[in-house]
Amino acid sequence: MIRKLTLSALAALAIGVGGSAVQAQVVEPEIADVPFSFDGPFGTFDEHQLQRGLQIYTEVCSTCHGMDLVAIRTLGDEGGPHLPADQVKAYADAFPVNDTASNPQFIDAASGNPRKLIPSDHFPANNSMGAPDLSVMAKARAAFHGPYKLGINQFIHGIGGPQYIVAILNGFTGKTKDVAGNTVYENTVFPGGWIRMPPPLSDGQVTFADGSPNDVKHMSEDVAAFLMWAAEPHMMARKHAGFDGVFFLIVLSSLLYLTNKRIWASVKGKKTA
């Protein structure tokens, strides 16, 4: 009996060690540190890049992905795409509701058809393809970690969500396979190596009015920057508040040091015999 228990324990230990060895071989994909304009404590969003990213989202991503936590009126906010009020209104008026089942609030009660959006509306949700919402995607996907995921690299480089999006959009190899009747696409960055989303971008797919490069690399950076703004539209205000707070603490610390030195000068200056 004891011998059987011992053999069972050894077998379980061997399986555990083997499983650990397999897990140890799993290597997280390398996420390149794309130098965005909003990186660092003094970085700011590039208004023109955000406008290009908005165009990419509208023409490509909105077909499958919603963004229902973002109000359309914020496209006119300073620090964001900063569209004029008339353009924001025209954009809302022309934006399609691709998934009426997920957006009953946009259905006109009289006609039963989708109504035109107005700037105070949020971007429509889109669950028809089972694709995730992109409202906070750039904050939900962390790419940079320090040793043992302590967050040291995040302190230096930021959370890395936009870099993760860029890596995903550029990680397709062109290979496909069939899984349970569904076609999946090989992606060197996505966990598991295969993703249900087909490559969404291709060179020349979107044409920009300012003549900016429209290859996959540049378009992926533009839409990633836009999604970062969508996830944290008040980033610039937060940075300004942080800078003001640090400056105030430096001034306060200096005044406290000088006050302390002045108060105790007569005592510290005395020499004992």
pLDDT tens digits for 88-140? Answer: 999 999 999 999 999 999 999 888 899 999 999 999 999 988 899 999 999 98
Checking if the pLDDT of 11 tops 80, the result is no
Give CA–CA dist 71/121, Å, rounded. 6
Residues forming a β-bridge with 182: 179
Checking if the pLDDT of 245 tops 50, the result is yes
What pLDDT is stored for residue 28 in this prediction? 67
> What backbone phi and psi angles, to 5 degrees, belong to 36?
-85, 155
**CA angle centred on 88, ends 84 and 91, rounded to 5°:** 135
SS3 of residue 109 by DSSP:
coil
In this predicted model, what pLDDT tens digit does every residue of 171-217 receive, in sequence order?
999 999 999 989 999 999 999 999 999 999 999 999 999 999 999 99
Grade residue 220 by pLDDT with cuts at 50, 70 and 90.
Answer: very high
Average pLDDT of the chain?
85
Checking if the pLDDT of 154 tops 80, the result is no
Lowest model confidence (mean pLDDT) among 13-17, 65-69, 233-237: 13-17
SS3 of residue 89 by DSSP:
helix
Q: Which pTM value belongs to this model? A: 0.81
Q: How many CB atoms lie within 10 A of CB 242?
A: 11
Contact status, residue 104 vs residue 97, Cβ threshold 8 Å:
no
Give CA–CA dist 59/205, Å, rounded. 9
Give CA–CA dist 169/165, Å, rounded. 6
Contact status, residue 69 vs residue 136, Cβ threshold 8 Å:
yes
Give CA–CA dist 31/154, Å, rounded. 13
What does the buried/exposed string (b/e) look like for 189-218 if buried means 16 or more CB atoms within 10 Å of the residue's CB?
Answer: bbeeeebebeebbeeeebebeeeeebebeb
In this predicted model, what pLDDT tens digit does every residue of 37-86 receive, in sequence order?
998 888 899 999 999 999 999 999 999 999 999 999 999 999 999 999 99
Share of the chain above pLDDT 70, in %: 82
